[in-house]
Every structure is written in C-alpha cells, then in structure tokens.
A and B are shown apart, each in its own frame.
Chain A
C-alpha cells in the first residue's frame, strides 16, 4: 500500500519567477519526511506539484518509479490535507469523510439506481470506514455537525479523516498543526506517528520547527525554491546554511505565513 516518492529536478515558475527550481528529493516508503523553509521558499508550490494541483514546467514526479506528473490530481492516489479549510459545506462531518471513500468505491450509477445488494454492501462498508476514520482523528463526537461549523483546527482534522478514508498511498500534510491548541497538537502528533508506524509514506510541511524535529525521520530544507539541506533532524539543526536562511544575514524574516507564492496551493 505504501510507496516511495521520487521528485526529480522539478521546476515551476510564475511570471518568470521560480517558485520551485530543480528540486529533487526521494522519500523511501514508510518514511515521514518534513519540508521546512522560510516563507516564499516554495514549500506549498512543491506540495501542489506533487499532489497534482499544479503542473510542473519541467521535471518528474514518480510513485514507486511510475511517473505521475501528467496524471490529474484525482488519479494519483495521494491524500492531501490543506492548511486552509477545504471541507465540503452543506454536508455533515460524517458525510465529508464518506466522500473520501469515493476514490476506492466502484459502485456505479446503475447499482445505486436499482438499489442492488452490492450498493447496500458498499454503503455499509463506507459508513463503517468513515466512522473509523472520524474516530481516529478524534472527531467522532462531531459526526453529525455541519462541517463548516467546526472550528478551524477540527476542519483540518476532518480533512485528514477524509484523506485517510480514501486509503492514500502517500499523505501530504500542509501545516497540519497550525492554529491547534496544545492538547490537539499532541493528539495530532500521536496520530501522525501512528500512521507512520503503520507504514504510510508522509510528507509534512510545518512551521513549528520543534514539532517537526520531534516527528520527522528526515528533513528537507527549501529556500528560494531550491533544496539547501537534507538530512536527519540533528544534521539539519547543525547546518549553518539553514540557520542563515531562517534568520538571514542581517534581518529577521517574519515567522507568520503570508499570501503570495506560498498561498498558491492553499
């Protein structure tokens, strides 16, 4: 179920400015890789290129050696959790998660229209699965609430449940911890660790460096669209280039995310 992700010399420019330039990285199956970098480093663009929300100008993206960069997003088998709320309004939390099962449901229009037994079986399976996923992210009590009424943190957890319900081979998490309270953050860290133990390949973008250092197997550091460092948390922490990129030679960069290139995938 789990896959190796290979990104090879991927570039994407917006109006002549490179957001991501010749980025290559390999995430072995079952690894939890974090991508960090200052604002405007190209993290979100890189995510969108892997997830299929943006097309790369050049370069390849492969899952277990099979190139997917020309496939539409819905055929890549990649689960994505966005930083901004992207839940389906007008549906309950439970229904949102059930939609996630669409990717792995093959009951056609006729089976549903004719109310074939197969449709009933599928529906029961989807309901059970959605409940399990909702429970895993700690949202079981919120199941019947309209999705858009959930607090932002919960909406992000809901996206995670929705992604898990689609049995992704690779999970992209874009700042899953931002805006969460300490207890929620702990719960999320436990959940992510457990998903990794189960063998899911995970790519994580996060501003909270302490959170990342604790969870990630390896860290890739981007700055100005390029990879400037790649290694274990300890190696990255000791890398002088990383310190310079984050703190700057003279000025301190703002630490809050801002719209711009970063916001493309968000």
Chain B
C-alpha cells in the first residue's frame, strides 16, 4: 500500500512536468494555431541555465527564476521567428519551431556539453501515509497547483487574458475589436516558454537533464495536450498527470524499459474511446 502511494505521488510529480509542457503547447496553439515543437527545448534550456547559476553560487529561487526567465525569452524568440512575419501559415510556423528545436541542441551542446546535468532541489525524504519518497516531488506539486490556478485566473479575469482567449476564439473579430493579434501570439509564445522553463527547473532535480531530454517532454506533453484537442488547458493538466502516474506505476510494478510506450498506448486508447463517443473532431476555423 505504501508502495502504491509512493508511486502515485512520484507519478503526479513527473506528470506535473508533462502537464506544464502541455499547457505551454495549449497556450501557444490556442492563440496562434501553431504546434510548437520547440516546447521541450524551453525546459532543457531553463534547467541547464539553472544548473550553471547554482554552480556559480546563486541561491535557490533566484537561479530557478533565472531559468524560467530564459525559458520565457526563448519562447519570445521562437515566437518572433515562427510567427513574426505576417501571413506565415501555421504549418510553416510548425516546421520553423521544429528547426529551432534542433538548432537549440547545437547551442546547448556548445555551451553545456552533452553529458547529463542535474542540481539539487528540495533535499530530504518526506513521509506521506507511510510511503517514503524524495521531498522534492511534493515541492513540484506545491508549485504546479498554484501555477494552474493563476493561469485560470489570468485567462478569465484580466484584460490581456480575455484578449488572448478572444484571439483563440475568432482572430478576425479579435482584430476588429482592436486586439493586436500578432502581439498576442508573441505573448502566448512567451507564456509557453515560461511554462516549459518551469517544467524543466522543477523536474531536473529528480530526473537529470541532457540536451535531448526535450524528446520525452514533448512526446508526453503533446500526448497530454492532444487529449484536450490542444485547446483545453485543464484537460491537458489531467492528461499530463495521468501519463505521469501510469508511467510510474508501470515502471514500479512492471518493467522500467516500457513505461513510456505503455503510457502512450493508454493515451491512444483514451483518445479512441473519446473519438468514438463524440464523433470526429470538427475542423477548427482559422
């Protein structure tokens, strides 16, 4: 029993990372209709910078914020390159993000090398209902929950949030109302970058990071985001947590080698069931 609780909390912690990456994808896709394949790269960049800042003697908190800020900046840069030119189609922008993701590999290897890096997070062991697990997993959850609450508040209760939602609903009308759609797209990319960066700095203490860690993050994050049609952040959150828990359970009770495959098959099953129930996904108007 205590094993199960341990796996569940660990899984939620891992899943929170996927969920943050997924919500970044959703934030960007809703406003710009671009699937940002550089999303995992934000996490890697943020984690690598944080490891350097900590090694340079900066205190915890400051170093992590620095990492998240770099994620946001990287998001903005990717946004400028991918959607900065008016009239770029979402398909073209998608390829641009893919290219930038590969370019990021080169930059990361040049600066940080190709060896795994990590940094200590919250040290110590926590005991929850008899299960002993690294306390850092609880920190991940304690940070992720308010971040999602803040996002919900931001999108519903602020002028900028409503403007972003309006762009997501109808770009044409949004422009007529006086919203700078391109600027909103860049803001979405920046938010997506910060969320990706946060995923990176939160999960690195328990997972290590290498330049190509983004693959795991983007595959899982994308699966979680697709669950909600790439447009519903709360379903992406649920999807991310579900993926994390499933993977941890598979690794804990079965074999660690297949955890990702099992989780993705599960996700596929959920999507097939969902599609069978609701019919084909309607083509969204641009």
Instruction: Report A's interface with B, CB cutoff 8 A.
Output: 51, 53, 72-75, 77, 80, 82, 86-91, 95, 98-105, 107-109, 112-113, 119, 122-123, 126, 162-163, 166
Let me know if B132 is at the binding interface, CB within 8 A. Answer: no
Q: A53 to B176, Cβ gap below 8 A?
A: yes
Least CB distance from B151 to A in Å reads: 11
**List of A residues within 8 angstroms of B156 by Cβ:** 95
**List of B residues within 8 angstroms of A51 by Cβ:** 176
**List of B residues within 8 angstroms of A98 by Cβ:** 159, 162
Let me know if B180 is at the binding interface, CB within 8 A. Answer: yes
Q: A72 to B176, Cβ gap below 8 A?
A: no
Least CB distance from A119 to B in Å reads: 7
Q: A99 to B177, Cβ gap below 8 A?
A: yes
Least CB distance from A88 to B in Å reads: 4
Select which of B157, B159, B165 is within 8 A of A88 by beta carbon.
B165
**List of B residues within 8 angstroms of A103 by Cβ:** 177-179
Q: B158 to A119, Cβ gap below 8 A?
A: yes
Known contacts A80-B176, A166-B178, A99 near B170 by CB under 8 Å? no
The B127-181 residues at the A interface (CB cut-off 8 A) are 154, 156-163, 165-166, 168-170, 172-181
Q: A86 to B154, Cβ gap below 8 A?
A: no
Chain B CB within 10 Å — which of A87, A102, A113 has the most? Answer: A102
Let me know if B187 is at the binding interface, CB within 8 A. Answer: yes
Q: B159 to A112, Cβ gap below 8 A?
A: yes
Closest to A80 in B: B176
**List of A residues within 8 angstroms of B181 by Cβ:** 74
Q: B159 to A102, Cβ gap below 8 A?
A: yes
**List of B residues within 8 angstroms of A122 by Cβ:** 159
**List of B residues within 8 angstroms of A119 by Cβ:** 158
Select which of A89, A126, A166 is within 8 A of B177 by beta carbon.
A166
Q: B175 to A105, Cβ gap below 8 A?
A: no
Known contacts A109-B187, A113-B154, A126 near B159 by CB under 8 Å? yes
Q: A88 to B176, Cβ gap below 8 A?
A: no
Considering the chains assembled together, what is the distance between the CA atoms of A91 and B154 in angstroms? 14
Known contacts A88-B170, A113-B154, A162 near B159 by CB under 8 Å? no
Least CB distance from B95 to A in Å reads: 26
Select which of A53, A90, A107 is within 8 A of B172 by beta carbon.
A53
Q: B173 to A86, Cβ gap below 8 A?
A: yes
Least CB distance from B56 to A in Å reads: 27
At the interface, is chain B mostly helix, strand, loop or mixed?
Answer: helix
**List of B residues within 8 angstroms of A109 by Cβ:** 160, 187
Closest to B161 in A: A112
Closest to A167 in B: B178
Q: A99 to B175, Cβ gap below 8 A?
A: no
Q: A72 to B170, Cβ gap below 8 A?
A: no
**List of A residues within 8 angstroms of B180 by Cβ:** 72, 74-75
Additional A-B contact list (17), CB under 8 Å, known A91-B165, A166-B178: A73-B175, A73-B176, A74-B175, A74-B180, A75-B180, A86-B176, A87-B170, A91-B162, A91-B166, A98-B159, A99-B165, A102-B178, A102-B179, A105-B159, A107-B159, A108-B160, A112-B160
Chain A CB within 10 Å — which of B163, B173, B177, B180 has the most? Answer: B177
Least CB distance from B177 to A in Å reads: 5
**List of B residues within 8 angstroms of A53 by Cβ:** 172, 175-176
Known contacts A73-B176, A102-B163, A112 near B169 by CB under 8 Å? no
Closest to A81 in B: B176
Q: B178 to A89, Cβ gap below 8 A?
A: no
**List of A residues within 8 angstroms of B159 by Cβ:** 98, 101-102, 105, 107, 112, 122-123, 126
8 closest pairs, A vs B, by CB?
A103-B178, A86-B173, A112-B158, A88-B169, A99-B166, A105-B159, A80-B176, A102-B163
Q: B169 to A95, Cβ gap below 8 A?
A: no
Q: B176 to A112, Cβ gap below 8 A?
A: no
Closest to A126 in B: B159
Least CB distance from A61 to B in Å reads: 15
Considering the chains assembled together, what is the distance between the CA atoms of A121 and B187 in angstroms? 23
**List of A residues within 8 angstroms of B179 by Cβ:** 74, 99, 102-103
**List of B residues within 8 angstroms of A162 by Cβ:** 177
Considering the chains assembled together, what is the distance between the CA atoms of A107 and B157 in angstroms? 13
Known contacts A91-B169, A109-B187, A102 near B175 by CB under 8 Å? no
Least CB distance from A168 to B in Å reads: 9
Closest to B168 in A: A90
**List of B residues within 8 angstroms of A86 by Cβ:** 170, 172-173, 176
Select which of A87, A107, A113 is within 8 A of B173 by beta carbon.
A87
Q: A89 to B169, Cβ gap below 8 A?
A: yes
**List of A residues within 8 angstroms of B176 by Cβ:** 51, 53, 73-74, 80, 82, 86
